[in-house]
Amino acid sequence: MIKKINLTNIRNHSNLSLDLNDRFIYIKGPNGSGKTTILESIYLTSTTKSHRTNNDFDLVKRNEKFGIIHLETNKDIFKIVIHEKGKSILINNKEAKKLSEVIGRLKVIMFSPEDLNLIKGSPHVRRSFIDYEIIKYSKNYLNNLTTYKNILKQRNALLKNISLNDDQTFLNILGTKLYEIGIKIIRQRSEFIEELNLETKKIYSLFSDKNIEINYLPNAKEEIFLNHLTNNQKQDILYKTTMSGPHRDDFLVTFMNEDAYKSSQGEIRLIVISMKLGLINVLKNKTSDNITLLLDDVLSELDDKIKHKFLDNLPDNMQIILNSAINIDSNNVKILELKGEM
């Protein structure tokens, strides 16, 4: 469980200290008071990345040269220093050198308005979602993914410098290696989406009797992937890149048997909320570690009936940190109110 967080020069917070040592935290305050920044900082501590920007230095307060996130749990102390050249991550005063040392150490599941892009966004957004969620419980998956990306990078570099008449021996070797690792990724992703689909449907049924499905869309099934790498290399040589494989995977969410992309904004939000709550059960089935649920502006665009059902069905055996500009009525909630710039 997260016990406290200190932010120095992080977005609009010059110096903020919060005691989060409670099961249900409700951060309230007007728009612009920095509520989302608190959740963003926790999420970055867990995953090494922000959910709002790809540039870490965007988190540093304007006109400052660095920002610091200091977070304590009941197990670890994290310190992240963000500067113009990148960031440094320390866990218990020891610098983390590898992604695997950080991801999964603090397990969080977050809903934010940006997550609507899981339905409305590009395949890259959905692939990143799959990868980061599986990595939380599987170091093996992270190793496979890292290996696959390295081999893919080598193969694509070779494809840029090879013609149809050149010796293709090394290309064949790289293709074999890519397939061997690629099918492991395909199988792990398939298993994850299957479990997520089942758990999401259970959660969604609490809110609606309509039908939703999440289906994994591998770019190529195992036998097709193998056939491409062994028999269709001409296409890759002509296009100068690897045209088939899990680096082009996707998944599809359907609502009433149609692409959920066509649904209303409120319906899309409810589906994504259900996915995130379903994800809790997927993760709990894989690990005994504590999970913190972060909810950023989760209640907007939901009608009152759905809001009450949502709050009534939040899990009671994990830490929940929720922010909103809307007042909520709930017992056993620790309220932290932000007044403005801090």
- pLDDT tens by residue, 330-340: 667 898 988 76
At 335, list the tokens. 């309220």
pLDDT tier for residue 329 given thresholds of 50, 70 and 90: low
- In the chain, CATH 1.20.1050.90 covers 119-288
The domain 1-107+290-342 having CATH identifier 3.40.50.300: the answer here is yes
Contact yes or no for 88/94 (Cβ under 8 A) = no
pLDDT tier for residue 311 given thresholds of 50, 70 and 90: confident
Span 4-29, mean pLDDT? 95
Predicted local distance difference test score (pLDDT) of residue 100 = 86
- CATH architecture of residue range(s) 119-288: Up-down Bundle (1.20)
pTM of the model: 0.92
Distances in Å between the Cα of 25 and the Cα atoms of 20, 111, 218, 255, 320 are 7, 15, 39, 32, 6
In the chain, pLDDT over 70 holds for what percent of residues?
97
- pLDDT tens by residue, 81-92: 999 999 999 999
Predicted local distance difference test score (pLDDT) of residue 175 = 96
Predicted local distance difference test score (pLDDT) of residue 339 = 78
Confidence check: pLDDT of 57 > 80: yes
Distance of CA 187 to the CA centre of its chain: 19
Predicted local distance difference test score (pLDDT) of residue 326 = 66
Average pLDDT of the chain is: 93
Tell me the longest C-alpha to C-alpha distance in the chain. 73
Question: Dihedral through CA 6, CA 11, CA 15, CA 16, nearest 10?
Answer: -50
Confidence check: pLDDT of 14 > 90: yes
Lowest mean pLDDT among 15-19, 122-126, 138-142, 303-307: 303-307
- pLDDT tens by residue, 160-205: 999 999 999 999 999 999 999 999 999 999 999 999 999 999 999 9
Predicted local distance difference test score (pLDDT) of residue 232 = 84
Span 27-33, mean pLDDT? 88
Among 284, 304, 301, smallest CA distance to 292 is for 284
- pLDDT tens by residue, 228-283: 998 888 999 999 999 999 999 999 999 999 999 999 999 999 999 999 999 999 99
Predicted local distance difference test score (pLDDT) of residue 325 = 64
pLDDT tier for residue 342 given thresholds of 50, 70 and 90: very low
pLDDT tier for residue 324 given thresholds of 50, 70 and 90: confident
Predicted local distance difference test score (pLDDT) of residue 330 = 62
- In the chain, CATH 3.40.50.300 covers 1-107+290-342
Predicted local distance difference test score (pLDDT) of residue 178 = 97
Confidence check: pLDDT of 288 > 50: yes
